[in-house]
Amino acid sequence: MRMVDAIREAMRAELAADPSVVLLGEDVSVGGPFGATKGLQDEFGAARIRDTPISEAAVMGLAVGAAAAGLRPIVEIMFMDFATLALDQLVNHAAKLRYMSGGQLSIPLTVRMQAGASGAFGAHHSQSLEAWLAHVPGLKVVAASTPADAYGLLRAAIRDPDPVVIIEHRALYWGRGPVETGEAGIVPLGSAVVRRPGVDATIVSWSRMTATALAAADLLAAEGIQAEVIDLRGLQPMDTGTVLASVRRTGRAVVAHEAVGFGGLGAEVAARIGEDAFDALRAPVQRVAAPFTPVPAAPDLERAFVPGATAVAAAVRRTLARPDPHRRSLEEGR
């Protein structure tokens, strides 16, 4: 199944199972910009699949109120960049109403945001802003790298009693993979997965960069280097247990993401490793990220902007080239 079809099937399953689930967004009746909602209005009616004005602030405000009143809205934000227009409602209201009401209000809101650089859409339509959202207490944030996870995480998000942001990379929409539908296909929020086992270094990634990390692991394998690849999936909450267990086995870590490096979630992952697995590290944690610049529109520049497998593999080699400080300390002690 293509990822975009898996997303549609997840929404269809939850719409059919729960009459309180509704879908809101610009042009969702005809499928939205990438066809993820195509056909749902024909199946469930205009009362539950509602086109909205071109105002992300209004859409999010409507959804927060609907969630507080007992519905389970799914909001489609065409491009993650446009979430900036909805942050007041999402960050100051949806994320805080449970806390501010002393637990009396629940906001079961799911926000689907398409993100990432692909197709030369330019700086206004290509950003990866997950670090902004993961920084907000009260929001859960997830990002799928496979059609199966896109299906399973979305169904789990719709059922969650709190607001969840789903980050969908448009470059992954047309990729195919096996999808287990039904209850067995639901993926718990906040759970990482090891995509490839290894013993020499750990690569932590999410969304499209997981495939890049796997490609880097293939390059390294040809050199006899076995890299373990972890797909974080949950950005908030974050499954640091899986990450730390891997780093304690390998002793070396690389964090790779498409967002710009400064202030990115890679820094948070690196800090967690430094705080809780420092004694196991044999080299400093390496980060691989986009340069600190707006996303270029020119296709060649966009390709240069997004880190590739060679950059990730080079970071792993850098960690392996560093001398083991623990071993050096032992030798100096003798």
Which residues are tagged catalytic?
56, 125
Beta carbons within 10 angstroms of residue 276's beta carbon:
15
Angle between helices 240-250 and 265-276 (to 10 degrees): 60
